[in-house]
Chains A and B, each alone.
Chain A
């Protein structure tokens, strides 16, 4: 056939094209599978392998007697798988279900990195869990994680001590990235939760899970169990804490005041037995993501419920500072214990006097301290001068943080010339300012904890113990990881005799002095000191510091009632109730042995 010759060339060309087609395809396959194979293999693994983290439970808080204070409970979290970005419809559906705005979810997705699920809403109710589990088709890429949720079983009781936890924010993440913190982590934000976060958090575990295209797990490839955080034994006595909270609440209600703080510690060890700040908050609100409504309520409260006033509230010490002035005067020898000074109602150099204007006549040191006589202590200030007052204030540890294991502690302030020079146009120091400083007014500022420390140092014969809230960290199986022994920070540079004189003067306060009526019939000898901090903003703050039993003190208490007026009327009743509870006197049927045991603690 002739045609064959004409067209065999065309057919050959056709054959070449066919061979080329196959050659190109084989070449492309070789490129994808051999040259780029590793890269695509990684992508395939990324497709199918999900890391589903399981959060380590945070350590449990126990009180000194082993009572549970803070623990965890299982909670359900609605999360999104990070790699299969859900469609806008799914996000809308999730938003409707858990009542989190779409913008907020999108923000979380945008900010997310890594393989951990994106947590949309923590601690959802079981019916939301059911909806997601039963309608998996409608919620592709949405998973329910079981996470331990912090459970503050005492609600707002002890809130300022325990603190609260919530999701790590950008600033914290930036700072703590190197310590292994990741976005979405739960972190301690306040109180002991913040200070001991590293110890409490444990190590998160997780499962490597093979999933199908809808994110449904097919099989578990690998697993690392989470390691629980360390448990914490606190120095707090739960019963005493409860009594202290109740005493404060009752008194605030009775005198229509709004804010107060109380610190109870063992002066022989520095252990904090109770600590109260009012108003308070419920840390559970933060554990499952606080609503903006709840947050606004807390934020707009003029009395700052989020502040731990026991360590960050700074108040003029008022007459409680006379302990410092008195110690200084006796130690420096500017007065002898028996020297009598005439109180005519006001001082002879500057006409300042007692608050009610009364005149006590000729009085000695012990009487002056018991009755909190201003004229006597003005004269001590006059004889000492501001520099020596400052020196003794600092010797007691004032003007700087005590070092308690809580965040946001305030320094307080010891009145001194330097400060006046630095911050005032008229930098000159006046004698009247020394007078004010000598009775705890003027520039002096202390926190309730510092006031408690001053009293404790007298109670412990001059020893200043570091205040602390944690006595031991324990592994989940109960074995000891670390224990915290009492630490002596310093010793008052004075003589035992002088401390005895101060102690006796303070005992006089509850026997015949400013707090005598409140402590009439109290079965245990108490040393105390009332105070009234003048407040330019409003009503005066009332102070009371005390310790007991007098001969072998193991409880020291400081109470302040903001805008409570005279300490004897506002703070002393709280202090008395706390002491009653500390010595087991508040239980009508308390038998003697229990009382004795408690007292020996």
Chain B
């Protein structure tokens, strides 16, 4: 048992994940130490570090359970997810014009983060029986309906970023489920056609973000400010960076939200292209292992889970990093395992834990 356990443990995935987490703590430290007085100087690092350790311990504990049992909870989780999202709308408190947080004791959690992983589990449960059987609108309709309810609830918060993540997850899982490519194409067209609907749901600040993405100079001191300052930070890092704790854009506060959504810009500024490339390669390792684990998964449910998780992580990396470099609009999607934030951190560590669990229980290598 122990021997098999070790052989099947994906150390490369663990190493890459650990590497990202360590970089995360260092960069959060650099981004926050200057604004926080005296003894609480490393409050953010400590908090993120402690939650990382707690989550890792919890993930290790979860290795005792087989991921397949999740399949039995798929529909219950789906209903829990809807209740959670409704609770946010009713009890949540808002920031930046969006209701995203609910308080549980001293911790404010962002249910939309957890709802991503719940979405993956429940969609994998649903698609499990339909793999290879999604050939026409009749087959697609229930899936769209199934995803549509939580999607609209998140959009209503409004949390455009998370709703886009839902779409990415769904597309990824449908693609691997062997959906008829014409149907997938039709889905794309429908998505494009429903853009005006999305636009309708958006708040003014979100519309501004899209406009600013097209041209940051529309509003250089308002919505465009983030993108401009972030590009300056990353670009000015040049090849080797300005050195840890030396980034002028970040340390002098020109770069907003430098420990959360724009943490990648701090990496770019302080560690340069070398640091950026290293971090992105770590992500490539994680994503690549996700694809391999999907390939080697012992069952369809496991494969769907792995693909969903990989889609989610890849989309996060693309949109967040793309945003900091001015090739994606500002949507408020955190960088997985890097951005400060308990909800996001927990979701992503759990996601990696599920990948490890799938790898651990692949049946192919049973002999």
A residues sitting closer than 8 Å to B (CB atoms) are 3-4, 6-8, 10-11, 13-15, 17-19, 21-22, 24-26, 28-30, 32-34, 36-41, 43-45, 47-48, 85, 87, 210-214, 218
Contact = CB atoms under 8 A, between A and B. Distances in A.
Interface in B261-278: 268-269, 272-273, 276-277
A141 B14 CA distance: 48
Interface of B: 131-132, 172, 175-178, 221, 229, 231-239, 248-249, 252-254, 268-269, 272-273, 276-277, 280-281, 283-284, 287-288, 290-291, 294-295, 300, 303, 307, 310, 314, 317-318, 321-322, 325, 327
A3 B284 CA distance: 26
Nearest to A17: B314
Contact of A34 (B231, B239, B252, B291): B239
A29 B233 CA distance: 11
Nearest to A33: B273
Interface of A is mostly: helix
Given A10-B178, A25-B280, A15 B288 contact: yes
B273 A34 contact: yes
Contacts of B273: 29-30, 33-34
B321 A33 contact: no
B294 to A, nearest CB: 6
B234 A32 contact: yes
Contact of A218 (B232, B252, B321): B252
A18 B286 CA distance: 10
Nearest to A29: B276
Contacts of B300: 3
Given A29-B276, A41-B235, 18 more contacts: A6-B132, A7-B131, A7-B177, A11-B307, A14-B310, A15-B288, A17-B314, A21-B318, A22-B281, A22-B283, A30-B273, A34-B239, A37-B235, A37-B239, A43-B235, A44-B232, A211-B252, A213-B253
B275 to A, nearest CB: 10
B106 to A, nearest CB: 28
B238 A37 contact: yes
Contacts, number: 145
A15 B291 contact: yes
Contact of B172 (A3, A14, A214): A14
A14 B303 CA distance: 12
Contacts of B325: 25, 28-29, 32
B146 to A, nearest CB: 21
Contact of A33 (B229, B237, B317): B237
Contact of B248 (A26, A33, A47): A47
Contacts of B269: 44
B284 A22 contact: yes
A218 B253 CA distance: 12
B317 A21 contact: yes
Contacts of A37: 235-239
A33 B268 contact: yes
B175 A14 contact: yes
Residue from A24, A25, A30, A41 with most neighbouring chain B CB atoms (10 Å): A25
Given A25-B325, A29-B234, A33-B234, A11 B288 contact: no
A30 B277 CA distance: 9
B239 A33 contact: yes
Nearest to A32: B235
A210 B252 contact: yes
Nearest to B177: A7
Contact of B314 (A10, A21, A212, A213): A21
12 contacts: A7-B178, A10-B176, A24-B318, A24-B327, A29-B234, A33-B235, A36-B235, A37-B239, A39-B235, A40-B232, A48-B248, A211-B252
Contacts of B239: 33-34, 37
B322 A28 contact: yes
A77 B303 CA distance: 69
The 4 A-B residue pairs with the shortest CB-CB distance, nearest first, are A40-B235, A37-B238, A44-B236, A213-B253
B295 A8 contact: yes
Contact of A26 (B131, B252, B272, B276): B276
B283 A14 contact: no
B268 A11 contact: no
A85 B252 CA distance: 18
Nearest to B283: A22
A489 B317 CA distance: 86
A68 B349 CA distance: 78
A47 B249 contact: yes
B238 A41 contact: yes
A24 B288 CA distance: 16
Instruction: Give the interface centre of B272, B288, B314, B317 by most chain A CB atoms within 10 Å.
Output: B314
A32 B176 contact: no
A22 B253 CA distance: 28
Contacts of A25: 280, 317-318, 321-322, 325
A311 to B, nearest CB: 53
